[in-house]
Amino acid sequence: MQPYATVSPYSMTKLRDAWIETSFQPSVQMSSYLFAIAVVDFPYQESYESNERLKFRIWTRESLMDQIDFALYAGPKVLNYFAEKFDYPFPLPKQDMLAVPDFGPGAMENWGLVTYRETALLYKSPKLGGVARCFSVIDKLRVARIIAHELAHQWFGNLVTMLWWDSVWLNEGFADFVGFLGTQHILQEWPNVLEQQFIFEQIQMAMAKDQEPQSPPIHRSSTQTDLFTYFDYITYKKGASIIRMLEYVMKNDFWVGLKAVMESESPSVGWDSNKFNVSIFMDSWVNAAGFPVVAVNRVNGSHVQLSQSRFIVNLTEDNATNVSTNVSQQWYIPLWYKTCTNKGITSLLWLQPNSTVMLAIEDDCWLMFNSEVRSFARLHYDDATWQRLLSGWSSDILSIERSQLISDAFNLALIGSVNYSRALELVQRLPDEVDAVPWKSAFIGLNYLQDMLFTHPGGHFFFEYVQKILNNAYKTDLWNNIEVDDFKLSVFSGKIVEEACGWNVTSCRDVAVEKFKEFIEDCQLSDDGSSNCSKVPALARRRVYCTGIEQKHTTDFERLWHLCNHESIGIEKENLLYGLSCCEDSDLLLRLLNASLQLDKPCIRRQDVGTLFKFLGNNPVARQIMWQHMKSRWSEYIKKKLKQPLKTMTMEAVRTFNTAAELEELNQFVNEIDGDDNKQLFNNAVKMVEINVHWRNSYAESVIDFVQQALLRP
């Protein structure tokens, strides 16, 4: 094999039988998991914006070369940013980034040759029209984030590598955290956007996993054999959230410390997390599972008392013995707070393990802890303090803070610490909300309630309640704002349209149906996918395609199936696959499920199987079909090395199970499976349904009672 394009000096020696031996210059010392070789017949383009010493290139299929300009701009920009930030130059003579057509991981930080899914690397400005209209501001943000994350690994993970996988959080947590900083550097035209994204995508998503009884600590046992289990939300998202909190505590000393690590440890491989010099309070955050909830209680109108406990969802006598670490775990908690008299000033106090704090307050003044959501903790206010806090809701509480307060309210209700009325009363404030992040946090909670009430006799009252909220928020002119270059306006408009149409707001669905008809007409003769012919706004395509397929016209399904199998742009193929997943015909749904095993259609490749199951999980009819399909064919997914997608399919198929009969049906299926390893694939599904049963028995009636009363009010 003769190298066509390589930067490393090499020599070639002709051998017998027309073979050629190629010798490359020795690389820098690296861990074996970082080594990659790519043999592709792809063109590349080189950046001329990087420094003279570094050769920076993007590789992809010939037909997609017009989508590499953004990556070619973002890559060198963020690489130079990190070199300056860490005061340590990138040590290699070249950096290649390769878009792989069928790639299981989202991306992989191979040193000097970073590999990506096409959807993780390619982007084209919608302003250019044509094919570019299938890209949105969210796609631009996602590509920038993934590039920044992977190039951060060139320092965190590649230059400085953990001694063993139990410390992988140092790689992934730091790459996620500084990756957000790098993304903000790339997208300077969108100030404050990354902070909003971090609160929702990192902190709130991590908390949702970390509050489960069996949640693992960030730093795992080194005896664990299944290394893939290390790569989860706890490692990435909680790791990044804890590092962000540490940076707020240490300020500039944080960056001084990182530079010291670079200088002392690199270029030798081996960064033992136990040597990383962090304050004593970090020990509990890294080595113990879970996180705290801080209780704020008024005392005599002149003080509040702060105390802490571990926040655990659905801890019962049945599962108490399976809790990953001590229920009475305590933390060193930094708490930033503000009040009605110092709205723009954030003060800091510490809540130490096994102690309380008394803070003097003004009785008629609101105060809020966890300013800017700096701490990885939930806040539980007593009723009097909560009511005062609401007085500053619109004017003095930031949108990221409102988002976290909504998340806290839903999750405190989930464990019975507050009534669901607290969360649902916040939902009633949403029509006045013009930022997408509080809406996103609210619909995480609302969608869970919808799942739990789907088969409840009073479930339709809840559906009508959410419809009423969305009717008050939806305006037809939101469709015109989806394609603007203003990130916040575009994402907010897209979110309202998505939810309004999804919850059957008539005025929204009417527009979506018309746009789908226009789409079918525009793409009727297309033989190369829909990216060239669709005029639907990018952020609304999934919802429009879904709404159209829900109209139950088989010819429309066949048209989308044809377009999906001929589409070359990954993000548009996912849009089409989402639309197909909304079908309510059992035979057509089975065709999709069978295709996930056959893997012989371009629409559903190996990398797309898990995505398909997530999409189908939003469809009540598909969930039933999936459940039957999974029970009869689960072993085939294992044989085809599709264990992770199988886990996803199981979780999605049973996510609304919440009766004793449904739990018994699931347990019976699992008990009949041979082999403990195979049974373990379904453990999380069983635990989820147990929690669902507990929720329905405990909270369903109170939610129905609240929404019935709310519907009676004008």
DSSP 639-697: HTT-HHHHHHHHHHHTTT--SHHHHHHHHHHHHTS-SHHHHHTTHHHHHHHHHHHHHHH
Closest CA to 432 of 481, 378, 390: 390
149 is in an annotated binding site: yes
646, 654, 638: which is closest to 686 by C-alpha? 654
Measured distance CA(158)–CA(152) in Å, rounded:
9
Token pair belonging to 131: 């094919």
Token readout for 293 is 């909830």
The rounded distance, in Å, linking the Cα atoms of 581 and 616 is 5
Q: How many CB atoms lie within 10 A of CB 292?
A: 24
E-assigned strand segments in 340-390: 347-351, 357-360, 367-369, 378-381
Q: What is the rounded CA–CA span in Å between residue 294 and residue 589?
A: 46
**527 CB-side CA count, 13 A:** 0
Structure tokens at 524: 């009727």
Residue 380 in marked binding region: no
Residue 301 gets the label, from left (phi > 0), alpha (psi -120 to 50) or beta, of left
Cβ pair 390, 423 in contact under 8 A: no
- Would you give the DSSP letter of residue 234? I
Q: Kindly list the catalytic residues.
A: 150
Per the CB < 8 A criterion, the answer to whether 258 and 250 are in contact is no
Nearest residue to 650 via CA among 686, 696, 619 = 686
- Collapsed DSSP state (helix, strand, coil) of residue 304: strand
Torsion of CA 490, 495, 496, 499, to 10 degrees: 160
Handedness of CA 286, 291, 294, 295 (dihedral sign): negative
Is 172 labeled as ligand-binding? yes
Helix-strand-coil split of the chain, %, nearest 5: 55, 10, 35
Binding residues for Zn(2+): 149, 153, 172
Binding residues: 149, 153, 172
